[in-house]
Structure 1
Amino acid sequence: MIVDVPITQPLDYRLADGPPAVDGKPPAAPNAAEGRAASATQIEVGSLCAVPVGKRRQVGIVVGFAPHSELEDSRLRTLGPRIAGPTLGGNWLELCRFAAEYYHFGWGEVALPALPPLLRRLPTARSARASAAAAQGAPSGQSAASAGLPALPGLVRGHALRAEQQAAIGAIADSGGFAPFLLFGVTGSGKTDVYLGAIERILARSDGAQALLLVPEINLTPQLHARLCERFARHRVISLHSGLAPRERALAWVQAHGGQAQIILGTRTAVFASIPRLRLIVVDEEHDSSFKSHGGVPFSARDLAVKRAQLEAIPVVLGSATPSLETWHQAQCGRYRLLELAQRASTEGAVPVIETIDLRRFPAEQGLSAPLRAALDLTLARGEQALIFINRRGFAPVLRCAACEWLSKCPRCDTFAAYHKVGATLRCHHCGWSKRVPAACPDCGNQDLQGVGQGTQRVEESVRQTWPQARIARIDRDNTQGARGASRAGAAFDAVHAGAVDILVGTQMITKGHDFRRVSTVGVLNADAQLVAADFRAPERLFAVLMQVAGRAGRAGQASRVLIQTRYPQHPLFAALARHSFGEFAQEQVEERRAARMPPFVHLALLTSAARTMEQALEFLRRCAALQEGLPQAQAVTLFDAVPMPLARLASESRGQLLVESRRRSDLHAFLDAWLPLVRALGSRGVLRWGIEVDPQAI
Structure 2
Amino acid sequence: MADRAAMNPLDAPTRVGEPSPEPAPIATVAVLAPLEKPLSYAIPPLLREQIQPGVRVVVPLGRRRALGVVLEVACGKDDGLRLLDEVLDAQPLLPPDLLNFLRRAAAYYHHPLGEVLRTALPAGLSSITTRVAILTERLYRPTPSSVVPPGTRQREVLAWLRERGEASLAEIAAQFPAPHAVLKRLVELEMLSVREAERRRDPFFAAPPPADARPTPSADQQRALELVLESLAARRFAPMLLHGVTGSGKTEVYLQAISATLGQGRQALVLVPEIALTPQLVARFRARFRDADQRVAVLHSGLSDGERYDAWRAIARGEISIVIGARSAIFAPLPDLGIIVVDEEHEAGYKQGEGWRYHARDLALLRAQRCAAVVILGSATPAMTSFHRARTGATAYLSLSERILGRPLPEVSLVDLSGRRLSGALAPELVEALAENLARREQSLLLLNRRGFAPFLLCRECGATFRCPNCEITLTYYQSHRHLRCHYCDYVQRPPQQCPDCGGTSLDPEGAGTERLEEELAAAFPGARIARMDRDTTRRKGAHQGLIEGMELGAIDILIGTQMVAKGHDFPGVTLVGVVGADASLNFPDFRSAERTFALLTQVAGRAGRGERPGRVLIQTYAPAHHALTCAARHDYLAFYEQEIAFRRDLGYPPFGHLINLVLSGNQPAQVESRAAELAAELDQVSAGVEVLGPAPCALARLRGRTRFQILLKAAARPPLHRLLAAVDAWRRKLPRTLNLAIDVDPLDML
**TM score, norm. by length of structure 2:** 0.84
**How many Å separate the matches in 1 of 2:741 and 2:313?**
35
1:563-574 to 2 correspondences below 5 Å = 563-574=618-629
Contact 1:14 1:76 (8 Å CA) reproduced = yes
Q: Deviations over 1:125-181 (max 9, x none)?
A: xx4863999xxxx9889942353357689x956643212112212211220200000
Q: Deviations over 1:254-291 (max 9, x none)?
A: 11111100001111111111111111111111111110
Partner of 2:559: 504
Whose Rg is larger?
A: 2
Q: 1:111 aligns with which of 105, 117, 127?
A: 117
Which SS does the other structure have where 1:120 is aligned? coil
- The verdict on how the C-alpha distance between 1:555 and 1:128 changes in structure 2, with shifts beyond 3 A counting, is closer
Q: Deviations over 1:197-219 (max 9, x none)?
A: 1001111122xx21100111112
**How many Å separate the matches in 2 of 1:152 and 1:536?**
44
Q: 1:165 aligns with which of 221, 224, 242?
A: 221
Contact 2:56 2:89 (8 Å CA) reproduced = yes
Cα-Cα RMSD? 2.2
**How many Å separate the matches in 2 of 1:630 and 1:419?**
48
Partner of 1:652: 705
Which SS does the other structure have where 1:147 is aligned? coil
Q: Compute the displacement of 1:571 (Å).
A: 1.4
Q: 2:424 aligns with which of 366, 373, 377?
A: 366
- The verdict on how the C-alpha distance between 1:623 and 1:262 changes in structure 2, with shifts beyond 3 A counting, is same
Q: 2:459 aligns with which of 390, 395, 401?
A: 401
- The verdict on how the C-alpha distance between 1:532 and 1:156 changes in structure 2, with shifts beyond 3 A counting, is farther
Q: Deviations over 1:167-196 (max 9, x none)?
A: 212211220200000000001111111111
Which SS does the other structure have where 2:569 is aligned? coil
**How many Å separate the matches in 1 of 2:353 and 2:63?**
29
Partner of 2:14: none
Letter in 1 for 2:547: A
**How many Å separate the matches in 1 of 2:591 and 2:271?**
26
Q: Compute the displacement of 1:337 (Å).
A: 0.2
Contact 1:83 1:123 (8 Å CA) reproduced = no
**How many Å separate the matches in 1 of 2:447 and 2:91?**
45
Q: Deviations over 1:235-260 (max 9, x none)?
A: 11000112222222111011111110
**How many Å separate the matches in 1 of 2:470 and 2:37?**
38
Which SS does the other structure have where 1:660 is aligned? strand
2:391 is equivalent to residue 332 of structure 1: yes
Q: Compute the displacement of 1:230 (Å).
A: 0.8
Q: Compute the displacement of 1:81 (Å).
A: 1.5
- The verdict on how the C-alpha distance between 1:610 and 1:586 changes in structure 2, with shifts beyond 3 A counting, is same
2:38 is equivalent to residue 6 of structure 1: no
Q: Compute the displacement of 1:365 (Å).
A: 2.4
Contact 1:614 1:656 (8 Å CA) reproduced = no
Contact 2:315 2:333 (8 Å CA) reproduced = yes
Which SS does the other structure have where 2:330 is aligned? helix
**How many Å separate the matches in 2 of 1:446 and 1:363?**
26
1:579-594 to 2 correspondences below 5 Å = 579-594=634-649
2:730 is equivalent to residue 678 of structure 1: yes
Partner of 1:213: 270
Q: Compute the displacement of 1:361 (Å).
A: 5.4
Contact 1:164 1:341 (8 Å CA) reproduced = yes
**How many Å separate the matches in 2 of 1:549 and 1:354?**
11
Contact 1:237 1:265 (8 Å CA) reproduced = yes
Partner of 1:81: 86
- The verdict on how the C-alpha distance between 1:332 and 1:469 changes in structure 2, with shifts beyond 3 A counting, is same
Contact 2:410 2:615 (8 Å CA) reproduced = yes
Partner of 2:175: none
**How many Å separate the matches in 1 of 2:326 and 2:543?**
20
Q: Deviations over 1:38-96 (max 9, x none)?
A: xxx52111111111122211111111122225xxx443111222103650211111111
Partner of 2:187: none
Contact 1:610 1:653 (8 Å CA) reproduced = yes
- The verdict on how the C-alpha distance between 1:131 and 1:607 changes in structure 2, with shifts beyond 3 A counting, is farther
Which SS does the other structure have where 2:733 is aligned? helix
- The verdict on how the C-alpha distance between 1:103 and 1:642 changes in structure 2, with shifts beyond 3 A counting, is same
Which SS does the other structure have where 2:403 is aligned? coil
Partner of 1:519: 574
Partner of 2:449: 391
- The verdict on how the C-alpha distance between 1:84 and 1:94 changes in structure 2, with shifts beyond 3 A counting, is closer
Q: Compute the displacement of 1:628 (Å).
A: 3.0
**How many Å separate the matches in 1 of 2:206 and 2:562?**
24
Q: 2:286 aligns with which of 218, 229, 237?
A: 229
Q: Deviations over 1:344-385 (max 9, x none)?
A: 1234x3210111011025543211111112212221222211
**How many Å separate the matches in 2 of 1:681 and 1:84?**
34
Letter in 2 for 1:682: K
In structure 2, the gaps of 5 or more residues are 1-28, 138-165, 172-198
Q: Compute the displacement of 1:222 (Å).
A: 1.6
- The verdict on how the C-alpha distance between 1:666 and 1:383 changes in structure 2, with shifts beyond 3 A counting, is same
- The verdict on how the C-alpha distance between 1:376 and 1:151 changes in structure 2, with shifts beyond 3 A counting, is farther
Which SS does the other structure have where 2:480 is aligned? coil
**How many Å separate the matches in 2 of 1:151 and 1:516?**
20
Partner of 1:561: 616
Which SS does the other structure have where 2:744 is aligned? strand
Which SS does the other structure have where 1:604 is aligned? strand
**How many Å separate the matches in 2 of 1:486 and 1:353?**
36
Relative contact order (alpha carbons < 8 A, sep ≥ 6): 1 or 2 greater? 1
Letter in 1 for 2:391: Q
Partner of 1:295: 354
Q: Compute the displacement of 1:401 (Å).
A: 2.0
2:426 is equivalent to residue 418 of structure 1: no
Q: Deviations over 1:635-691 (max 9, x none)?
A: 121111200000101122111101111111111112212x12321232226x43221
In structure 1, the gaps of 5 or more residues are 18-26, 30-40
Q: Compute the displacement of 1:439 (Å).
A: 3.1
Q: Compute the displacement of 1:300 (Å).
A: 0.4
2:379 is equivalent to residue 320 of structure 1: yes
Q: 2:204 aligns with which of 147, 155, 158?
A: 147
Q: Compute the displacement of 1:4 (Å).
A: 2.1
Contact 1:180 1:315 (8 Å CA) reproduced = yes
2:255 is equivalent to residue 178 of structure 1: no
Partner of 1:34: none
2:610 is equivalent to residue 610 of structure 1: no
- The verdict on how the C-alpha distance between 1:4 and 1:93 changes in structure 2, with shifts beyond 3 A counting, is same
Deviates more, 1:619-628 or 1:410-419: 619-628
**How many Å separate the matches in 2 of 1:86 and 1:333?**
44
**How many Å separate the matches in 2 of 1:536 and 1:149?**
45
**How many Å separate the matches in 1 of 2:267 and 2:525?**
50
Which SS does the other structure have where 2:576 is aligned? strand
**How many Å separate the matches in 2 of 1:677 and 1:493?**
46
Contact 2:684 2:692 (8 Å CA) reproduced = no
**How many Å separate the matches in 1 of 2:458 and 2:206?**
45
Partner of 1:23: none
Q: 2:740 aligns with which of 678, 681, 689?
A: 689
Contact 1:441 1:447 (8 Å CA) reproduced = yes
Partner of 1:622: 677
Partner of 2:439: 381
**How many Å separate the matches in 2 of 1:412 and 1:239?**
36
**TM score, norm. by length of structure 1:** 0.90
Partner of 1:304: 363
**How many Å separate the matches in 1 of 2:372 and 2:251?**
23
Contact 2:328 2:360 (8 Å CA) reproduced = yes
Contact 2:57 2:67 (8 Å CA) reproduced = yes
**How many Å separate the matches in 2 of 1:284 and 1:145?**
23
2:527 is equivalent to residue 469 of structure 1: yes
**How many Å separate the matches in 2 of 1:150 and 1:421?**
41
Letter in 2 for 1:172: V
Q: Compute the displacement of 1:622 (Å).
A: 1.6
Deviates more, 1:263-272 or 1:466-475: 466-475
Contact 2:567 2:603 (8 Å CA) reproduced = yes
